[in-house]
Structure 1
Amino acid sequence: MSKEKLSNIVIGLVLIIIGSYIFLENFGLIQFEFGFISWPIALLLPALGFHIAFFLSGMRKDLAGLLVPGGILLVLSLHFYLEILTNFQYSDYTWPTFLLAPAFGLFELWFFGYRNRGLLIPVGILTILALIFFAQAWLSFAAKLWPLVLIFVGIFILFNRNKDSKDPTISSD
């Protein structure tokens, strides 16, 4: 069997499994114990399918384009699993992942493809923007912690007494 036929079989099976899973869950015919975190699997399975298809093809450089949607979907599925597990409470700080997803897919294309330097431009721009926005988001979070400095200074003042100086409240009479 040729590698191309094997890739088509893998992609076809992945799509059938995903479609069947979503169809059965939509009609309540199946439910998983962790059903509340199961929807990102609709992104994860095709991502794995794209990667498996590429690697089963013998990592042919002309098929490296499969890794772009595969990489994007992989990063997004992992991002959404994290968001669901944390009840989306950190989404104000993790949103730059949406910029990293295409950067990762394009980087995979560059790494496994023909190493066209032009691909590194959007990868670099998206990555730098994501890092800037991550830094800004986390600094805004850290800015909320400044009252802790006051607490620590207060504790230091209360418990750090200079042993050379005399306490004016204690008389030596």
Structure 2
Amino acid sequence: MNKETLFRIAIGSIMVLFGLLIILLPSFTVNLWLLFVWVPAIFMEYRAATGGEKGLFVPGGILLVVSLILTLNVIFPSFIAAGGWALFIMAPAVGLFQIFIAEEKKDSGLLFAAFLLAAISVFFVLMNVAPKALGIFVGLVLLAIGVLVVFKNIRLTKR
């Protein structure tokens, strides 16, 4: 069997499985829309990993993270409202990091952008999970940095 035949068999089997699920579990169709986000994401990741179209890592990575967030919101209905929204910032970070790893010639700009977006996302997730404790910590860090900058500038101007 060639690849095309195997692909058609896989698609046919998936359609049979979904048909049975829709017939036997009518509530399955309530969240069927998630497949329209997962399937393109997985397809793009597969094409990027095997087809040499490395540029598909960015939209594939974004769609994978968005699919995961939406799935978690279906499982836990208030996930996005409770702070999961900050993970949407992580979506482009994942895609950029994937393309950084896949490229032969490493571009440090991709890694910096991915790290910056990931850090912002983690910061906002933590702010939503533990707002008071993290807020105090961030305030203390900013206060310490500000004091250091002011005293350093005062000391430099006295010389």
Which category of TM-score, normalised to the shorter sequence, fits these structures?
A: 0.5 to 0.7
Change (3 A) 1:141 1:112: same
CA distance in 2, matches of 1:109, 1:68: 7
Matched residue, 2:115: 124
- Whose helix fraction is larger, Structure 1's or Structure 2's? 2
Gaps of 5+ in 1: 1-5, 22-30, 144-173
The one-letter code of the counterpart of 1:101 is A
Change (3 A) 1:109 1:136: same
Deviates more, 1:101-110 or 1:111-120: 111-120
> Once the 2 structures are TM-superposed, how far is the Cα of residue 93 of structure 1 from its aligned partner?
1.3
The one-letter code of the counterpart of 1:132 is F
Change (3 A) 1:140 1:35: farther
CA distance in 1, matches of 2:79, 2:110: 34
> Once the 2 structures are TM-superposed, how far is the Cα of residue 51 of structure 1 from its aligned partner?
1.3
Gaps of 5+ in 2: 19-24, 135-159
The one-letter code of the counterpart of 2:116 is I
Assess if the C-alpha contact under 8 Å between 1:37 and 1:85 holds in 2. no
- Over alpha carbons, which structure has the higher Rg? 1
May I ask how many residue pairs the two structures share in their alignment?
A: 121
Aligned-CA RMSD value = 3.2
Equivalent residue for 1:66, pick from 56, 65, 69: 56
User: Percent identical across equivalent pairs?
Assistant: 28
The equivalences for 1:5-154 within 5 A come to 32-57=26-51, 60=52, 63-89=53-79, 91-114=81-104, 115-140=106-131
Deviations 1:92-122 (A, max 9, x none): 2111110000000111010112321110121
TM-score w.r.t. length of structure 2: 0.63
The one-letter code of the counterpart of 1:38 is L
CA distance in 2, matches of 1:89, 1:68: 24
CA distance in 2, matches of 1:131, 1:122: 14
Change (3 A) 1:70 1:32: farther
